[in-house]
């Protein structure tokens, strides 16, 4: 029994000892981390901030670092870009139009070359440098402010039409960069990929042409509204004063209403006359266009006629030139019959070939020709006559097929 008690008391003392050792080691580890760090690596995309006794000792670039001292530690700040995207669906332009914008860009925290700026602003904005979400939230708010400033300084057309979009992007970039620099942040690659038009603005754009056509009507409505406002004011004044002098106020009111009605009629007349003048100007412009078109068509027709006449004269002259030789020969033949006969003889002579045969027969007889074939000799028979006959020229032909004899009377 005494042995068991001794064993129990010994085991309890060992257990207590182990607990004490663990607590001491934990305390040593907890306190030792405040006095040194070993092989702390700063990557390529990071900046290392070395602290000693709560103050920044040095800001270093990529590498491996060790330090010993009172409350030393290493904090790493990423130098990678933080993309942000912010949209504001409703911004008022200088001419009181509503548009929406989407802005995108990249956020950069202070790098090694900006170590002085990082050291200066660390106490105020360390959370922004260490937390990407906080940096995005901060820049989103600044971007919204920059968007409202740049859009509000410009009219609707200067914000969305043509090269105005580039000017708007540059304004937002400059404004946002100026605001972010107060926090040691740098903004790059700012773009405005989309301008959002509300349905009301889109409808307003579609109605611009219609509103321009209705300018005269708007002017008339304005005059009518002013007349109605004056009449309402006169009526209210009449009601206030009616208790004092009903008859006098009624006469004054009637006079005022009559004057207003007259002004209204004059205004309507002016509007109608302006509309008629516009219509007359439009008709005259259309008439001028039609007359110009007809003048152009007449000029084109006259030019076509002159071209065709010139072509006809050219064709006549060409025909004369082509027939000049024949006309000259015909005139020569008419003046010199002997020359004509000579030409006829030459033509007949040139018609003869070396293979042609000539047969002379008495006049009034018909020669009989037997073409040669196998076993047949050429034969020419003529009847007697005392006069000479015309010359008959017979071209030599190929012999007929075997066994066939051709006779020509």
Overall average pLDDT of the 211-226 stretch: 72
pLDDT digits (tens, 9 = 90+) for 333-361: 788 888 777 877 777 777 767 676 666 67
Is 81:95 a contact under the CB 8 Å cutoff? no
For CA atoms 303, 304, 306, 310, the dihedral sign is: positive
Is 142:184 a contact under the CB 8 Å cutoff? no
Per-residue DSSP letter, 62? S
How many domains does the structure of the chain reveal? 3
Q: Are residues 170 and 213 both part of a single domain?
A: no
pLDDT digits (tens, 9 = 90+) for 152-174: 888 888 877 777 788 889 999 99
pLDDT given at position 136: 92
The answer to whether position 308 is within a domain reads no
Q: Are residues 279 and 224 both part of a single domain?
A: yes
Q: Are residues 45 and 141 both part of a single domain?
A: no
Q: In this predicted model, which residue has the larger pLDDT, 72 or 136? A: 136
pLDDT given at position 133: 93
The chain-wide mean pLDDT, for the chain, equals 78
Q: Are residues 97 and 147 both part of a single domain?
A: yes
Q: Is the pLDDT of residue 7 over 90?
A: no
pLDDT given at position 178: 93
Q: Is the pLDDT of residue 388 over 50?
A: no
The answer to whether position 214 is within a domain reads yes
Q: In this predicted model, which residue has the larger pLDDT, 407 or 66? A: 66
The answer to whether position 281 is within a domain reads yes
Overall average pLDDT of the 266-273 stretch: 90
Q: How confident is the model at residue 212 (pLDDT cuts 50, 70, 90)?
A: low
User: Could you say which of 256, 275, 298 is where a domain stops?
Assistant: 298
Q: Are residues 91 and 176 both part of a single domain?
A: yes
Q: Are residues 60 and 165 both part of a single domain?
A: no
Overall average pLDDT of the 143-156 stretch: 90
User: Could you say which of 179, 206, 233 is where a domain stops?
Assistant: 206
pLDDT digits (tens, 9 = 90+) for 242-267: 777 777 777 788 888 888 888 889 98
User: Could you say which of 266, 282, 298 is where a domain stops?
Assistant: 298
Q: Are residues 91 and 63 both part of a single domain?
A: no
109: Cα separation from own chain's centroid: 38
Q: How many CB atoms lie within 10 A of CB 324?
A: 10
Q: Is the pLDDT of residue 406 over 50?
A: no
Q: Is the pLDDT of residue 392 over 50?
A: no
Q: How confident is the model at residue 387 (pLDDT cuts 50, 70, 90)?
A: very low
The answer to whether position 264 is within a domain reads yes
Which residue segment(s) compose the domain that 294 sits in?
208-298
The answer to whether position 27 is within a domain reads yes
Helix (H) or strand (E) holding 369: strand 368-370
Q: Are residues 117 and 98 both part of a single domain?
A: yes
pLDDT digits (tens, 9 = 90+) for 98-112: 888 899 999 999 988
Is 190:166 a contact under the CB 8 Å cutoff? no
Q: How confident is the model at residue 373 (pLDDT cuts 50, 70, 90)?
A: low
Question: Model pTM?
Answer: 0.44
Instruction: Give the lowest-confidence range in 90-104, 200-214, 332-346, 393-407.
Output: 393-407
Burial of 3-32, coded b for 16+ CB within 10 Å and e otherwise, reads: eeeeeeeeeeeeeeeeeeeeeeeeeeeeee
pLDDT given at position 81: 92
Q: Are residues 197 and 85 both part of a single domain?
A: yes
Main-chain dihedrals φ then ψ at residue 42, nearest 5 degrees: -110, 120
Instruction: Give the lowest-confidence range in 183-197, 328-342, 382-396.
Output: 382-396
Overall average pLDDT of the 192-197 stretch: 83
Q: Are residues 110 and 189 both part of a single domain?
A: yes
Q: Are residues 125 and 147 both part of a single domain?
A: yes
pLDDT given at position 319: 82
**Structure-token pair, residue 151:** 């859009």
Output the domain CATH number for residue 187: 3.30.479.30
The answer to whether position 330 is within a domain reads no
The answer to whether position 312 is within a domain reads no
Q: In this predicted model, which residue has the larger pLDDT, 213 or 63? A: 63
Q: Is the pLDDT of residue 8 over 80?
A: no
The answer to whether position 400 is within a domain reads no
């Amino acid at each position: 029994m005494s042995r068991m008690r001794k064993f129990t008391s010994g085991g309890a003392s060992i257990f207590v000892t182990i607990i004490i050792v663990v607590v001491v080691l934990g305390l040593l580890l907890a306190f030792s981390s405040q006095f040194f760090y070993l092989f702390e690596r700063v990557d390529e995309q990071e900046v290392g901030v070395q602290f000693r006794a709560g103050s920044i000792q040095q800001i270093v670039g990529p590498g491996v670092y060790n330090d010993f001292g009172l409350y030393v530690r290493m904090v790493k700040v990423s130098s990678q870009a933080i993309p942000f995207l912010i949209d504001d669906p409703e911004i008022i332009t200088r001419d009181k139009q509503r548009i929406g914008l989407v802005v995108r860009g990249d956020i950069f925290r202070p790098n090694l070359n900006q170590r002085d700026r990082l050291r200066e602003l660390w106490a105020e904005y360390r959370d922004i440098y260490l937390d990407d979400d906080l940096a995005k939230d901060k820049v989103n708010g600044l971007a919204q402010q920059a968007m409202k400033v740049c859009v509000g300084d410009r009219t609707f057309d200067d914000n969305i039409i043509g090269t105005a979009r580039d000017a708007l992007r540059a304004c937002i970039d400059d404004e946002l960069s100026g605001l972010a620099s107060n926090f040691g942040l740098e903004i790059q690659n700012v773009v405005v990929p989309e301008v959002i038009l509300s349905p009301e603005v889109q409808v307003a754009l579609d109605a611009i042409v219609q509103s321009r056509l209705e300018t005269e009507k708007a002017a008339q409505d304005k005059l009518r509204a002013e007349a109605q406002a004056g009449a309402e004011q006169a009526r209210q004044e009449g009601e206030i004063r009616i208790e004092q002098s009903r008859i006098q106020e009624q006469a004054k009111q009637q006079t005022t209403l009559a004057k207003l009605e007259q002004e209204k009629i004059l205004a309507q007349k002016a509007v109608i006359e302006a509309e008629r003048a516009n219509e007359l100007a439009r008709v005259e412009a259309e008439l001028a266009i039609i007359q110009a078109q007809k003048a152009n068509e007449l000029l084109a027709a006259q030019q076509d006629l002159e071209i065709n006449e010139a072509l006809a004269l050219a064709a006549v002259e060409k025909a004369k030139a082509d027939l000049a030789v024949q006309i000259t020969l015909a005139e020569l033949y008419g003046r010199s019959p002997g020359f004509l006969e000579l030409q006829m003889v030459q033509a007949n002579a040139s018609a003869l070939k070396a293979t042609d045969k000539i047969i002379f027969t008495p006049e009034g007889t018909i020669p009989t020709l037997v073409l040669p074939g196998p076993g047949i000799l050429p034969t020419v028979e003529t009847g007697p006559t005392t006069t000479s006959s015309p010359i008959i020229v017979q071209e030599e032909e190929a012999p007929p097929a075997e066994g066939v004899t051709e006779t020509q009377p």
